Every structure is written in structure tokens, then in C-alpha cells.
Amino acid sequence: MIKNILLAGDGSQHSLRACEKAVYIAERTDGAEITLIHVVDDLPSRTDVMDEEMNPRDIPDHRKKRVQALINIMEETQVPFHVKHVFGEPGPTIVREANDMGADLVVIGSRGLNQFQQMVLGSVSHKVAKRAKCAVMIVK
């Protein structure tokens, strides 16, 4: 049974479609809840760090706003959810979070890279599908 759903989101159109699928599944599963993980894969900018109230490991608010559309979708439902913003490399960070939290399902969008782009760049969704210890749904 799917109870713990990890939704990987970055605010892109691909992640919006993945969010809709995660909500669809969670609404139809008693006791399911969604954890939205937003992985910021670059270091804080100088202006972010110069902000006197910012701890170097905090995600600035303007970066958190990138996933606000996903949060809005989930707020319109009765599905319990929470949001985690973390710095890191997206693939390994999503896999680590899925494995650590004991996720039953990871839902992630696909950018639709061609074979050459996947070979050169690697695909986050492909890395997650290979390494996660649970089911992974890649939403096109």
C-alpha cells in the first residue's frame, strides 16, 4: 500500500504534472501523505549570503517560491503534505531522502531528454529510478 509519497519538484511544467499525479494517487489512498522535496542544486549567491539574516545553509525565500505553484495544488486538496527545501545534487539527494524516509513511491517529472542529452548530462529521473529502493513514477 502506498502511504508515503515523495514528490520531487522544482516548479517546472514537468514537476507540475508530477504533482497532479501524486495528488491523484494520494486522494485515492487512505492515509497517504506527500512530501515535496525541492532540491536547490547551486550554491547560494553572494547576495544571498550577504543578507545578514541568512544562515549559509538556509534556502532563500525567492528560491522557495519556485515551488509555490505545487504547494497551491496540494493546498486545494485534503491530502496531508509537507515541504522540504534542501541544497544538493538533485539525483542523489532525492534518492537519499526517499530511502531515509521509507517512501513507498517517488513521483518525478521527466524533462524528455533525447538519448545524446541523457548520455552527456544524465537524467535525474533515470538516476532516481535506478537507485531508489521503492517504486518510481516518471511523469512525462
Tens digits of per-residue pLDDT, 105-115? 999 998 755 55
Domain extent, residue 39, equals 4-139
Using pLDDT thresholds of 50, 70 and 90, give the confidence band for residue 120.
Answer: very low
Mean pLDDT of 96-123: 78
Handedness of CA 36, 41, 46, 52 (dihedral sign): positive
Q: Based on the structure, what is the number of domains in the chain? A: 1
Where residue 21 sits, what CATH number does that domain have?
3.40.50.620
